[in-house]
Structure 1
Amino acid sequence: MNSIISDKKTIFWLVAPGFVLLTAMIFIPILVSFYYSLTDWDGVAEYRLIGLRNFIEIVSRDEVFWKSLLNSLLLGLGLVLIQHPFSVLIAMLTQYCGRYEKLLRICIFIPSIISTFVTTQLWVSVFNTQFGLLNRLLEMIGLEAWKQDWLGDSRLAICCIIFVCMWQGFGYAFLLYYAGIKGVPKDLHEAAMLDGASQLQLNLKIVFPLLAPVLRVNIILAVVAAFKQMETVYLMTGGGPANSTQFLSTYLYSKAFREGLYGYGNAISILFVILCLLITVLLNQALKKDVGEY
């Protein structure tokens, strides 16, 4: 094994296939996208180089871009501040459910493995103004005044999207936290109980601090997923009403393929990549913590 590690040629040939694939599938497309972001191409006709004009337009005058960025940040905050604390709590409580533990795990994870199209259409039906289940329930319990056009009102629509996205991704967050909790050695549990620790103290003082690596990975994945959100938004509102529910991915798609501003869309995609990389690095630094071995 040591001879393989010290052989630079062997290391090169082992790394080369992966590096070539990574270059062909990621780095080259990003470079091509950057080139087109410097043009006024509509995706069909001839184009001309216009420099950084697309980027200047996006940053200085495109209000919808900043609205889509704000919506992505709001979803990220919703995932981190609402979905994840609730996921940790449910993961901790699940281990005390005895023989129903496996059944509960399955029920929690099912929404995450169902097609996004199916679950989104389900919620669109629930929020429907005319025959939706939510308005019907409000009517049945005498709260007709609370009936709303849930996906037609800009303030309510973004709240509905954030809720549905949190519901769809809850299973994955729960699964990672549950695996982390189950990975804590039983010896630590037994030692804490012998020292007189209650279940609450055990979870708060021992289990939760040891979840720091899982917490870091989960938060980074959640924020990046918020910025990449596309299918649910597109299927629920298409970015409407009046672009109030646009996210970076849906706005990029709208500009490039609906409006035919392919160069402009590529400029948004480059900013998108830069933002994701920057946020990932910042979160890695902010959440960097050595919890030791266990």
Structure 2
Amino acid sequence: MNKYFSTKMSIFVFATPALLLFTVFCVYPLVPEIWMSLQKHNGFQSLGFVGLDNYKAIFASSSFWTAHKNTYLIVGISLLLGIPLSMTLALFMEIQTPRLRRFFKSAAMFPAILSVTVVAQIWLAFYEPNWGLFNSILRAIGMDSWTHSWLTEKNTVMLSIGLTFLWQYIGLNAMLFYTGIKTIPKSYYEAALIDGANFAQVCMRITIPLLQNIIKYVLILSTLGSMAFYSHVRVMTAGGPGDKSRTVIYQMYYTAFDTSEFGKGTAIAVVFILECLLISFLIQRFVARDKLEF
């Protein structure tokens, strides 16, 4: 009994400073934002308490739902394409010679360390409708009908920006998976090879199951990072054409700073925070619940 209480007390003592810092710098700043979301506010002063009117207004706005559709499209691209491709790249690096492995590790990290502005400008050149890389390739192979003005057509703009985002961060996730692979004991692989398992069986029965904690971390990182998607949109399209490439964060910025409706902007921020907390809870609750011990 004394051991039980001493352990609990130790946890409390060591966790208290971190909890205080989290409360001061993360929880407390939300209080004035929630209060502002209940007011008509121009960024300098309150113009009156309006209750839930700001929330009713944003939920009635088509731009708000367009922003959500675009945001979750980016999340879908990151999860359904990004994570499998990152895992494949990590497994590919693992089977290379040390020299090639160093090359691929450097190449994988290079896009992630570049500024978003630099990456966006590179891909703006790729998407340029007249002389850009993609349309030039399509014309060269006789597929002129497939050419597009990629960033000014509503049917292609979000997929184009999503591809840019995917390219920039796929290598970072691959390195996280690769780091996890290196922690798996070699004896597991040696036993599998003795039993006659091939590469695919080793990946499906050993590597991927034992990476569940890393997969969970990458899942959270990719999901929340995709939901906070803003910079690429700002540089590449500024939310256009119209509002067709706005994300939730961009819609929040536009509402608060471009239209000076800070009450509605903070209401969008509050809704966004609640969504992120809910998604984080669901991932923590249902993904990789079993504790692994090697």
Answer yes or no: same fold by TM over 0.5. yes
Structure-1 residue corresponding to 2:36: 36
Tell me the distance in 1 between the aligned counterparts of 2:191 and 2:93: 22
Equivalent residue letter for 1:118: V
Equivalent residue letter for 1:88: M
TM-score, structure 1 normalization: 0.92
1:178 equivalent to 2:172? Answer: no
Structure-2 residue corresponding to 1:230: 230
Equivalent residue letter for 1:121: Q
Distance change >3 Å, CA 10–CA 96, structure 1 → 2: closer
Stretch of structure 1 that moved more, 217-226 or 251-260 = 217-226
What's the RMSD between the two structures over aligned residues? Answer: 2.1
1:127-179, Cα deviation, whole Å (9 max, x unpaired): 12233222223233333322211100011001101111111111221011111
1:206-262, Cα deviation, whole Å (9 max, x unpaired): 111111111111112111111111111111111111111111110000000011000
- Say if 2:108 and 2:172, in contact at 8 Å, map to a contact too: no
1:14-43, Cα deviation, whole Å (9 max, x unpaired): 545433332232112111100000001011
Structure-1 residue corresponding to 2:269: 269
Structure-1 residue corresponding to 2:83: 84
TM-score, structure 2 normalization: 0.92
> Where does the alignment leave 5 or more consecutive residues of structure 2 unmatched?
none
1:130 equivalent to 2:130? Answer: yes
1:282 equivalent to 2:282? Answer: yes
Shift of 1:291: 5.6
> Where does the alignment leave 5 or more consecutive residues of structure 1 unmatched?
none
Shift of 1:56: 1.5
- Note the 1:120-269 alignment, pairs <5 A: 120-269=120-269
Q: Secondary structure at the match of 1:145?
A: helix
Percent identical pairs in the alignment equals 29
Tell me the distance in 2 between the aligned counterparts of 1:209 and 1:10: 33
Q: Secondary structure at the match of 2:28?
A: helix
Equivalent residue letter for 2:51: G
Distance change >3 Å, CA 16–CA 290, structure 1 → 2: closer
Distance change >3 Å, CA 119–CA 256, structure 1 → 2: same
Equivalent residue letter for 1:248: V
Equivalent residue letter for 2:86: S
